[in-house]
Amino acid sequence: MVKFSKKLEYALISLRHISNAGAEVTRVRDISEKYNIPHDLLAKILQKLKKENILDSSQGINGGYTLNRKLNEIPLSELVNIIENSTSIVECMHDEDNNCMITDSCTIKDPLSRIQSEFENILKTKMISDFV
């Protein structure tokens, strides 16, 4: 029912590492080798975090990543949305593509919608620093 995806875990591990490195740049390879995370997969995750301004990056032979925001100011909800595109607990609440065939006769939409709100509030309250 609830499962942190590997991508999300890799992101958390990386953010912790990069945060600890301070001003020093961290290469994808550093993290990849230290924690045994597939290089190419990790690279794409960090690229996404860069694109969303959570990380800074510099290219070139001495390039790498640094942290652009403080971990205690990034809510988990934001990270989950970046990595997994959605925080909805059932498909019918992810407006874009609701394919549920039983929407019309479904009797639990409303209560689940309440739960959804509660859940989103929790995700907004928890900061990345709580997870590393």
Partner DNA sequence: ATAAAACCGGACTAATATAGTCGTATTTAA
Partner DNA sequence: TTAAATACGACTATATTAGTCCGGTTTTAT
Start-to-end CA distance of the chain, whole Å, equals 22
Among DNA, a copy of itself, ligand SF4, none, partner that 41 touches (CB below 5 to 8 angstroms by kind): DNA
Phi, psi of 38, rounded to the nearest 5 degrees: -55, 125
Phi, psi of 17 (to 5 degrees): -60, -50
Could you say whether residue 87 binds a copy of itself (CB under 8 A)?
A: yes
DSSP type of residue 36: T
β-pair partners for 67: 55
List residues binding DNA (CB under 7 A): 3, 5-7, 27-29, 38-41, 43-44, 46-47, 50-51, 57-65, 84, 91
* Chain residues that interact with a copy of itself, rule: CB under 8 A: 1-5, 8-9, 12-13, 16-17, 34-37, 80, 84, 87-90, 101-102, 105-108, 111-112, 115, 119, 122, 126, 130-132
